[in-house]
């Protein structure tokens, strides 16, 4: 087989077969196929797309390029959850303990944050003592005893995807539905999930900017999952504004605990309940979404999953005292208020700008090597639809430095205040089964 012929085939709009895709993925991962040929192929895929069969084969080939995590020693349906990324997205921290409380095993591998979006692993590490690295045996043991463990992604998970994604990043081929879908799903398949709930975000802080694009991506990923015998559901949820009120690592742990206590932000709570409900239906704890939603609303309202969260934290070396004494989490030295410049209603909050502002305070990384500060972040005191008066605080900055002028300006610019009350924000746009 010659790579040049496969590039030609794809360029002509023909579908590649299993042998050909395997040849490309293993050849590129091992360094036998050079970047320039792979770049040409990626551009041909970008323009000509892939059939659903090609996309599933590519997913499986990338998943199989490294370690395939075997979770068969854990009883029950292992339901994973993946978000396409957003600002203030702490849903995994909330749904993990809820689903575990229901007896469904949560054996989750999560990533770190980069750019304007945060990562679950960084957020957990803001809990004093929390260890995100467990041996495979300890990971399985933790899930078997506590029903939940969350660890960092293994370095050898889908290495083909890692290499191809880095190349896509510099060849303007990231925004291709089959390439995004196979990239995300390859990591889910390699990490051993039996069933998957995908949270596809849309809006100013998300990868997908329109509901239609999100639907196509969601449908492609659900079809990949099903073709590989993983029951998969995709929700399309809002990221026009950050999710919840807190952004920053310790801040988001604090807010997740509030939701688990039943006293959290209503919109964040509603999205978390829906995600947990779909996970628990896939995990076979309930037959219907409605039953699951009712039971999980009760769990959240009555703080029933807080003990599960404490056990999960303690089992990974963290201080479970943070649940009842959030002041044990890292706190920032300075607090500054950004105030409204006029009366009206908040009509827009640019999630990406807010994410970048939090990153500039030190809550996130501009480059992979950057160190993050767990204590810093933002509290959004006003969200879309809230009435504000001139001089009201719209956002509190938690900072570890005194000069935050640049960040204050970004936040002021990210908020738009109009005289008319905007339409209510839609939280969930669609669910793809």
Nearest to 294 by CA among 310, 277, 319, 312: 277
If one asks whether residue 336 binds ligand URA (CB under 6 A), the answer comes out as: no
Exactly one of 56, 65, 176, 183 is catalytic; name it: 183
If one asks whether residue 332 binds ligand URA (CB under 6 A), the answer comes out as: no
Q: Which of 7, 106, 180, 190 binds ligand URA (CB under 6 A)?
A: 180
Exactly one of 81, 108, 116, 168 is catalytic; name it: 168
Q: Is 112 a catalytic residue?
A: no
Q: What DSSP line would sit under 108-138, residue for residue?
A: EEE---BTTB--HHHHHHTSTT------HHH
Nearest to 167 by CA among 286, 38, 325: 38
Rounded CA separation 44/6 (Å): 10
If one asks whether residue 153 binds ligand URA (CB under 6 A), the answer comes out as: no
If one asks whether residue 384 binds ligand URA (CB under 6 A), the answer comes out as: no
Q: Is 226 a catalytic residue?
A: no
Q: How far is the CB of 176 from ligand URA (least distance, A)?
A: 8
Exposure on the CB side of residue 194, measured as CA atoms within 13 A: 19
Exactly one of 161, 223, 265, 373 is catalytic; name it: 161
Q: How far is the CB of 217 from ligand URA (least distance, A)?
A: 9
Q: Is 110 a catalytic residue?
A: no
Query: Closest CB to ligand URA among 179 and 235?
Result: 179
If one asks whether residue 289 binds ligand URA (CB under 6 A), the answer comes out as: no
Rounded CA separation 81/97 (Å): 13
Q: Using CA of residue 304, residue 305, residue 306, residue 310, what is the dihedral sign?
A: positive
Stretch that binds ligand URA, among 180-188, 234-242, 378-386, 401-409 (CB under 6 A): 180-188
Residues in the chain: 433
Stretch that binds ligand URA, among 19-27, 175-183, 338-346, 353-361 (CB under 6 A): 175-183
CB proximity list for 70: less than 8 A, separation 6 or greater: 192
Q: How many residues bind ligand URA (CB under 6 A)?
A: 5
If one asks whether residue 42 binds ligand URA (CB under 6 A), the answer comes out as: no
Nearest to 294 by CA among 280, 309, 308: 280
Rounded CA separation 140/149 (Å): 8
Q: Which of 183, 237, 256, 293 binds ligand URA (CB under 6 A)?
A: 183
Q: Is 319 a catalytic residue?
A: no
Query: Closest CB to ligand URA among 85 and 242?
Result: 85
**Are the CB atoms for 365 and 359 separated by under 8 Å?**
yes
Rounded CA separation 193/267 (Å): 28
Stretch that binds ligand URA, among 46-54, 176-184, 266-274, 280-288 (CB under 6 A): 176-184
Q: Is 82 a catalytic residue?
A: yes
418 SS3 class: strand
Q: How far is the CB of 84 from ligand URA (least distance, A)?
A: 6
Nearest to 94 by CA among 241, 321, 235, 270: 270
If one asks whether residue 190 binds ligand URA (CB under 6 A), the answer comes out as: no
Q: How far is the CB of 350 from ligand URA (least distance, A)?
A: 20
Q: Which of 165, 289, 345, 429 binds ligand URA (CB under 6 A)?
A: 165
Residues with catalytic function: 82, 161, 168, 183, 187
Residues that bind ligand URA (CB under 6 A): 165, 179-180, 183-184
């Amino acid at each position: 087989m010659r790579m040049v012929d496969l590039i030609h085939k794809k360029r002509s709009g023909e579908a590649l077969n299993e042998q050909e895709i395997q040849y490309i993925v293993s050849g590129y991962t091992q360094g036998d196929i050079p970047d320039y040929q792979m770049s040409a192929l990626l551009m041909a895929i970008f323009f000509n797309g892939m059939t659903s069969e090609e996309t599933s084969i590519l997913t499986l080939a990338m998943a199989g390029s490294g370690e395939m995590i075997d979770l068969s020693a854990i009883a029950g349906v292992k339901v994973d959850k993946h978000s396409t990324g957003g600002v203030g997205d702490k849903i995994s921290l909330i749904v993990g303990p809820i689903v575990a409380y229901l007896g469904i095993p949560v054996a989750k591998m999560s990533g770190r944050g980069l750019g304007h979006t945060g990562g679950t692993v960084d957020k957990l590490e803001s809990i004093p003592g929390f260890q995100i690295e467990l041996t495979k045996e300890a990971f399985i043991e933790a899930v078997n005893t506590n029903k939940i463990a969350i660890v960092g992604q293994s370095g050898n998970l889908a290495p083909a995807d890692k290499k191809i994604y880095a190349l896509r990043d510099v060849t303007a081929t990231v925004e291709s539905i089959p390439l995004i879908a196979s990239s995300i799903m390859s990591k889910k398949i390699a990490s051993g999930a039996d069933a998957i709930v995908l949270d596809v975000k849309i809006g100013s802080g998300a990868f997908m900017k329109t509901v239609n694009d999100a639907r196509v991506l969601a449908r492609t990923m659900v079809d990949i999952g099903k073709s590989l015998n993983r029951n998969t559901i995709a929700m399309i949820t809002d990221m026009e504004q950050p999710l919840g009120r807190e952004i920053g690592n310790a801040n988001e742990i604090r807010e997740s605990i509030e939701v688990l206590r039943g006293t959290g932000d209503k919109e964040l709570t509603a999205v978390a309940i829906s995600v947990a409900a779909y996970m628990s239906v896939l995990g076979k704890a309930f037959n219907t979404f409605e039953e699951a939603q009712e039971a999980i609303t009760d769990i959240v309202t009555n703080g029933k999953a807080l003990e599960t969260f404490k056990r999960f934290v303690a089992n990974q070396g963290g201080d479970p005292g943070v649940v009842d004494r959030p002041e044990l989490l890292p706190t920032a030295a300075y607090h500054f208020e950004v105030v409204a410049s006029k009366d009206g209603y908040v009509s827009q909050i640019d999630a990406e700008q807010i994410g970048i502002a939090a990153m500039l305070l030190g809550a996130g990384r501009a480059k992979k090597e950057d160190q993050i500060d767990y204590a810093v972040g933002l509290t959004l005191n006003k969200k879309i639809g809230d009435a504000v008066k001139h001089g009201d605080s719209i956002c509190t900055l938690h900072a570890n430095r005194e000069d935050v002028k640049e960040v204050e300006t970004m936040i002021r610019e990210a908020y738009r205040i109009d005289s008319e009350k905007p339409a209510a924000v839609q939280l969930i746009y669609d669910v793809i089964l």
